[in-house]
A and B are shown apart, each in its own frame.
Chain A
């Protein structure tokens, strides 16, 4: 638009654009120290708001890891009719084993079952009073890996239950399903909470930046009068938002690490009682980077919303 020829070649302008960006980035970091309290508060809000979801995330991640092994334990127990002959049981076991969703079948004949029960239950002598062996023959069916999920195993169970030889069947996944449902619930709550907190962070950062813009109204008017573009005026505020996110992310790291350490001590107190060596895993490097990135994005978007609305609105 300028009628005068540009005084600088394009490449020079390009280089200067970045040099100025760097200057403004450093400059806005200096701005933060000019109003340290307001900045600290906003950074703390940003960091601590992210701490809650990230800590919950750690908890969910660990509970998923803990239940992962249990998931594979799905086994179907088929209790057969008591009037079956040994040969019939073996034939049926063969038939089940030939199914394409079954990995292996183990037969526990009623006598063997009673022996085991006598040996392990502690009811040994009491069992002698029984006239007959009350136990049925049992087939322990292990589904193929891809049929081990609760749904698939349940479908398999339903099919096996239809068999003539089967009196009843059980799949001990109910508690597992409940646990998984609980984990899913926590995940959903975590998601909703994270979205709400992120929205709050954006609004808080936006409001802080808005106040900064209004405080510097006169300066902005003067800059506009001497030909500053909106972009030029906006940049320091955007960098301020960036620094909020940058520092707030580090605050979130530290706070999350402290919380995880705190919870971890409680957890290991519990697991030691169960002779388990379960240890709470904190955030790994990638997760830390993602957390940092989210913090920076939130800071930037908060300031972006503020500058979009307010820098353009200030006119000489």
Chain B
């Protein structure tokens, strides 16, 4: 699903955000991406979602070599990726319904067709009945779940989450993680960037660790490795 081949990313000014990173996330796999802030997690996610382009190396998503994806094709590729942000990125003056329906409107669904899918997505994240609310009327955890509903509403084969539990307490964090697990159960590939090592340890999934732009470990996170970080 995601394939990095010796990928490096340099920013103008000489800062190297990623150094020679290679990994592969298979279809239907779930993994964590971890590392200190500044280790390159965000850059890696930005490369996958085509917000940035790799300086060196090859990134392929869902079989598409991103080097061959032109500017005009970027939106269509992004529709295959559900992205969840730490700061939710909701449209504050739109209702929850419209926020979640946004990807569907963009793809050209009617209001009626969108309604069913939005309903299903909100059910899934446990926010049924909040369609008419505005984001500001919801708690942080609920807003995050709106963001998740928006990411999954058009059933993308890949979910990316950037610090999805950053502002949440452990209990809420665990709920969010269970949610990701349930998507993974139905075949969605999930990559979650987080520095919440305790959470990673409890979940026991494959963990990719970045340090100063380099991939320092790739495998199951054990209790011991948490100290190493």
Contact B106 A8 (CB under 8 A): no
Cβ-based interface call for A122 (8 A)? no
Closest B residue to A226 using CB positions: B103
Contact A2 B150 (CB under 8 A): no
Cβ-based interface call for A5 (8 A)? no
Q: Which of A14-22, A124-132, A175-183, A280-288 contacts B (4 or more CB under 8 A)?
A: A14-22
Cβ-based interface call for B110 (8 A)? yes
Contact B157 A4 (CB under 8 A): yes
Interface residues of A in 213-258 (CB under 8 A from B): 218-219, 221-230, 232
Which of B64, B76, B83, B107 touches A225 (beta carbons < 8 Å)? B83
Q: Which residues of A contact B76 (CB under 8 A)?
A: 1-2, 227, 229
A19 in contact with B103 given A1-B64, A3-B62, A228-B75 (CB within 8 Å): no
Q: Which residues of B contact A229 (CB under 8 A)?
A: 72, 75-76, 106
Contact A227 B51 (CB under 8 A): no
In the complex, what's the smallest C-beta–C-beta distance from B58 to chain A, in angstroms? Answer: 17
Q: Which residues of B contact A111 (CB under 8 A)?
A: none
Cβ-based interface call for A69 (8 A)? no
Instruction: Please classify how large the interface on chain B is, using the bins under 10, 10 to 19, 20 to 34, 35 or more.
Output: 20 to 34
Q: Mark A1-44, 1 if CB is under 8 A from B, else 0.
A: 11110011000010011011000000000000000000000000
Cβ-based interface call for B23 (8 A)? no
Instruction: Please classify how large the interface on chain A is, using the bins under 10, 10 to 19, 20 to 34, 35 or more.
Output: 20 to 34
In the complex, what's the smallest C-beta–C-beta distance from B108 to chain A, in angstroms? Answer: 4
Interface residues of B in 85-99 (CB under 8 A from A): 89-91
In the complex, what's the smallest C-beta–C-beta distance from B135 to chain A, in angstroms? Answer: 12
Contact A227 B62 (CB under 8 A): no
Cα A203 to Cα B72 in complex, Å, equals: 27
A3 in contact with B64 given A16-B108, A20-B108, A227-B103 (CB within 8 Å): yes
A225 in contact with B78 given A1-B73, A4-B157, A219-B91 (CB within 8 Å): yes
Cβ-based interface call for A316 (8 A)? yes
In this complex, the member of B75, B83, B103, B150 whose beta carbon has the largest number of chain A beta carbons within 10 angstroms is: B75
Cβ-based interface call for A315 (8 A)? yes
In this complex, the member of A13, A221, A225 whose beta carbon has the largest number of chain B beta carbons within 10 angstroms is: A225
Closest B residue to A24 using CB positions: B105
30 contacts between A and B (CB under 8 A): A2-B76, A2-B80, A3-B62, A3-B63, A4-B157, A7-B107, A8-B109, A16-B108, A218-B89, A221-B89, A222-B91, A222-B102, A223-B106, A224-B78, A225-B51, A225-B83, A225-B89, A226-B83, A226-B102, A226-B106, A226-B150, A227-B103, A227-B107, A228-B106, A229-B72, A229-B76, A230-B75, A232-B75, A315-B51, A316-B51
10 more A-B contacts (CB under 8 A) besides A3-B157, A224-B78?
Answer: A1-B64, A2-B80, A3-B62, A3-B80, A219-B91, A221-B89, A225-B83, A229-B76, A230-B75, A316-B51
